[in-house]
Amino acid sequence: MLRPSALGDVCRTVPVLASLRRRFPDAVIDWLVQNSYSDAVRCHPALDSVVLFDRASLRGLWRPRAWMALAGWLASLGRAGYDLVFDLQGLGRSGLFSLCTGAPRRVGFRDAREFGWLGANVHVERGERPHTVDQMLRLVESQGVPAIADLRLSPPPESTESWSALRRDLGADGRYAVLAPTSRWRCKQWPAERWAEFAARVLDSCRLERAIVIGAPGEQSQTTWSRAVPRCVDLCGRMRIGESMAAIADAALVVANDSAPLHMAVGLGTPYVGLFGPTDPVRVGPYRGARWVVSSPLEAGEERRRYRARGDDDTLMRRIGVDEVLARAVEACAEPAWFRRVAEGAA
């Protein structure tokens, strides 16, 4: 399996892994993933091992030594002796990796970008199903693998232990919410003042004791609002991916922009609410979770696409009101069993 990045995409690729394991119970199944994201999947019971891709190493390719290291790593893909490879990323980089495996069957999307289709020798149409999870499952279905929508994630045991210790230190033994307000793109961010108001109100509305704010290293400037909110703990940049997964698994509620923590919540069976502005939840939203998405209303002629072109324009996200998100959060907290069934592929 080839799905190096991004973190949210890695999390929602797990149904492909589950489907392959169900069809090939005795096969060796490896997953090529970016090394910084490996904690999201390395402990999944259906996976034999991860093949780590160090994306940072590509930055120094002007150095001969870096070229030699990359060439050696690419050659190692061919020595593994894979029989069947699925390129679930559909980009030039993943197409190159697929080609370098030398596998007899290399399955990829016919319209893979950046000439990524050149790495495959079995080409599959994306089909009419718009969600990216369904499109990836279409690749394995083309090879006679029945699709199963098992989204479950498995946090590393050591991360669960470290989160439990941190939780005790924080005095967060009761019910809590995880808030994920950060994004690399400002156009995807709900404004800070809305997050502050929501955090202050959701604790009483959902009978929660704490709100835990998470985010990646380097995003701390996006969470400074939380310091002024009582019973809100800012852990942005202080937890690794596995620890964030463990925190989400124990939470009573997750509220997030279009970001990786939202897809973690889906796979961990935790009640969630997702906030979407410039991105289309029909395509990249929580799988089978349209009910728990709050999307900004669109004006005539507007479309949810090309978020990269919007940059710092958060106009769409500003159209999402606190009252609407709060009402959805109260509903989500009342139905935890539904979220568990979806994660298991039973709903």
The predicted model gives 182-186 an average pLDDT of 92
Q: What pLDDT, on a 0 to 100 scale, did the predictor assign at position 302?
A: 77
Q: Going from the N-terminus, what domains does the chain have, and what CATH number goes with each?
A: 7-141 (3.40.50.2000), 157-343 (3.40.50.2000)
Q: Tell me the average pLDDT of the chain.
A: 95
Task: Kindly tell me if the per-residue pLDDT of 247 is higher than 80.
Answer: yes
Nearest residue to 293 via CA among 310, 303, 280? 280
Q: Read off the pLDDT of residues 35-70 as tens digits, 9 standing for 90 and up.
A: 999 999 999 999 999 999 998 776 776 777 778 888
Note the pLDDT of residue 300: 73
Task: Identify the CA nearest to 256 among candidates 42, 34, 44, 11.
Answer: 11
Output the pLDDT for position 171.
87
Q: Give the burial class of 5: count Cβ atoms within 10 A of its Cβ; 0-12 exposed, 13-18 middle, 19 or more buried.
A: middle
What does the pLDDT average to over 137-164?
97
Indicate if the pLDDT at residue 312 is higher than 90. Answer: no
Residue 76 has pLDDT above 90, yes or no: yes
Band (pLDDT 50/70/90 cuts) for residue 128 is confident
Question: What pLDDT shows up at residue 194?
Answer: 98
Q: pTM of the predicted model, to two decimals?
A: 0.95
With a pLDDT cut of 90, the percent of the chain lying above it is 87
Nearest to 119 by CA among 80, 145, 90, 82: 90
User: Cα(20)–Cα(242) distance, rounded to whole angstroms?
Assistant: 24
